[in-house]
Chain A
């Protein structure tokens, strides 16, 4: 579904990603772990199409297409979804409007009929229940006045409504208490399917106790320095990142999985 080859990315002249290789197949869950500043969020944002980064080398092929050539909205319509680490507040735009516009943009691209306001509400109710979100939240402006936990739940709720092929979760666990974490993880798990892949970016292992990944990759200083199964996350939890901090070049940095 997704093949990242030697991706190199800079921001304001600073090298952030220094040759990332990653291959993700439908049905798989990959976790990207790593210390702060290792480039996790950059990778997530670049995949979603943020244009404030310069891509200096490499390519990303998504479902046979050059992902980096596509506008963010086209990526979304083709099934790429990013759950933001810091969801943006948009005063004056209601969640309902926002989400229905998003859903209809995706449906239109797939050649499906647009959903009316009435049908839309019926459809989202079920997804709201999945994330134990109060119905009043969707009539409020996007993320405005939401607690940290509500914002994160709102991201996963959007994901549930849009049903992407490739879902990227960027530190969805940060700012969540344990109960909210369980709810969000449960929501994600319900969305796991053969046709859907996940990239779960996280700093801590705890989310991965609930969303058990098929692969864990460790990103350090812009490279994937280690790849393993879910037990690698536990090892990291125990030892911290410091034992990986100085990446040995090439020998461990294959990053290829699956």
Chain B
């Protein structure tokens, strides 16, 4: 079985040979493919994949998604691009860049927001120092697979000193094709010294059909760079989503990321940040909201490599029905990283007896003068709070929904882009019984 599914990817890989591709990239891709063939897809015997079974990789033979618009129109996208909110956006359909659906007005000329394929064709030298230098493909099958299939994705370059107020939207939509397909978006975001930007990556399924999104985003931050990064997933109910966000931070850079999982049959998110310069700070936040038979797995790794860095992490999850979840948050403090200040929290709300969550905070500390705390909670709705609300005349259903909303809002209040916040709220209100009433009242 395993070898058969690997052979399928090898065949797809062979079809991607492009004589114009830079040699260094070809070498990386070949090496990654070799590595992927060696590793194979993970099994639950591996600690990192203990609670997330990726059987779909063996059961379904995914073809590489072909490059075609597949009838996607700008109108269809309006629902997923915040209506009137006209921020610069790059649109990818089944992993392929669509120039007609993208819009890039009003960006300062030296700022680059473009397809990676195009950037590789026109100026590969600016990509070379960063691409595949941070997201390790030696020991991670999905990253290796993505790296082997690097074709397209977003390339964002914010040059030194540039400050972009408007969010830049990278939108990845999946549509149904006549076969089950995989796409491997590869994004590179380079935020130079003293620059500032807000980037939103969103992954949206437009049709109900199985597909596999396997993405890697590398973020490289220069000194004093400031980045707000959002990743919003509304994949379709039958979709498989595996993603790695790999961040490298230089001195005094500030990163905030917010990860939202709303859809998908199976989602595995990895967020790995390396704080590699004194005074760097990062905040990782996340919300997952799953029901039915959905599975969501959040793996985060914060590596404090230099002294005087601070990190803060809050992930909150709401699980209903038979949904299952995993949170594995690792904080690594290297011997050099004295005066590290790190705090991690994971709170889970289980709305049904059949929902489960495996949460595992983990500290690995090799320095002696640090302040690190972590904590995880798993609970049901607070009976005292429910009674309190009901004793004031609020019916039981509304009281429950209100408390669920309140639970989520304690992390969503960290979302600083109003349109993103309202999109997440919209989803919540649609999901909650009596949500409409709560929305009107709030």
Which of the candidate stretches B158-166, B196-204, B399-407 sits at the interface with the other chain? B399-407
A50: which B residues are within 8 A, CB to CB? 387
A87: which B residues are within 8 A, CB to CB? 388
Would A76 and B407 be within 8 Å (CB), given that A52-B383, A88-B385 are in contact? no
Does A100 touch B at the CB level, under 8 Å?
Answer: yes
B382: which A residues are within 8 A, CB to CB? 88
B381 CB → nearest A CB, Å: 11
Contact B388 A88 (CB under 8 A): yes
Contact B406 A76 (CB under 8 A): no
Contact B384 A88 (CB under 8 A): yes
CB-nearest residue of chain B relative to A114?
A: B441
Contact pick for A82, options B383, B391, B405, CB 8 Å: B391
B403 CB → nearest A CB, Å: 7
A84: which B residues are within 8 A, CB to CB? 388, 391
Contact B387 A91 (CB under 8 A): no
CB-nearest residue of chain A relative to B409?
A: A92
Contact B396 A76 (CB under 8 A): no
Contact pick for B391, options A48, A109, A141, CB 8 Å: A48
Contact B403 A76 (CB under 8 A): no
Contact A93 B402 (CB under 8 A): yes
Contact B393 A162 (CB under 8 A): yes
CB-nearest residue of chain A relative to B398?
A: A101
A48: which B residues are within 8 A, CB to CB? 387, 391
Contact B392 A158 (CB under 8 A): yes
Residues 51-71 (chain A) with a chain B CB within 8 angstroms: 51-52, 71
A11 CB → nearest B CB, Å: 13
B105: which A residues are within 8 A, CB to CB? none
A133: which B residues are within 8 A, CB to CB? none
Interface size on A, residues (CB 8 A): 34
Contact B406 A90 (CB under 8 A): yes
Contact A97 B391 (CB under 8 A): no
Does B27 touch A at the CB level, under 8 Å?
Answer: no
Would A76 and B392 be within 8 Å (CB), given that A52-B383, A101-B398 are in contact? yes
Contact A90 B392 (CB under 8 A): no
B221 CB → nearest A CB, Å: 31
B393: which A residues are within 8 A, CB to CB? 73, 76-77, 101-103, 105-106, 109, 162
Contact B384 A97 (CB under 8 A): no
A217 CB → nearest B CB, Å: 23
Contact B394 A100 (CB under 8 A): no
Docked CA distance A84–B387 (Å): 11
CB-nearest residue of chain A relative to B387?
A: A50
B388 CB → nearest A CB, Å: 4
Contact pick for A73, options B395, B408, B410, B441, CB 8 Å: B395
Contact B394 A92 (CB under 8 A): no
Residues 73-125 (chain A) with a chain B CB within 8 angstroms: 73, 75-77, 81-82, 84, 87-88, 90-94, 97-103, 105-106, 109
B54: which A residues are within 8 A, CB to CB? none
Does A49 touch B at the CB level, under 8 Å?
Answer: yes
Most buried by A among B388, B389, B391, B395: B391
Contact B390 A100 (CB under 8 A): no
Does B442 touch A at the CB level, under 8 Å?
Answer: yes
Contact A105 B395 (CB under 8 A): yes
A93: which B residues are within 8 A, CB to CB? 402-403, 405-406
Does A19 touch B at the CB level, under 8 Å?
Answer: no
Would A72 and B390 be within 8 Å (CB), given that A88-B385, A92-B409, A93-B402 are in contact? yes
A42 CB → nearest B CB, Å: 14
Docked CA distance A71–B387 (Å): 10
Contact B391 A162 (CB under 8 A): no
Contact A101 B441 (CB under 8 A): yes
Contact B388 A97 (CB under 8 A): no
Ordered by A's residue number, 26 sampled pairs between the chains whose C-beta atoms are within 8 Å are A48-B391, A49-B390, A71-B395, A71-B396, A73-B390, A73-B391, A73-B395, A73-B396, A75-B391, A76-B390, A76-B392, A84-B391, A88-B385, A88-B387, A91-B410, A92-B405, A92-B409, A92-B410, A93-B403, A98-B389, A98-B392, A100-B441, A103-B393, A105-B393, A105-B395, A162-B393
**Chain A contact residues, CB within 8 Å of chain B:** 48-52, 71-73, 75-77, 81-82, 84, 87-88, 90-94, 97-103, 105-106, 109, 141, 158, 162
**Chain B contact residues, CB within 8 Å of chain A:** 382-385, 387-396, 398-399, 402-403, 405-410, 441-442
5 tightest A-B contacts by CB?
A92-B406, A105-B393, A76-B393, A102-B392, A72-B390
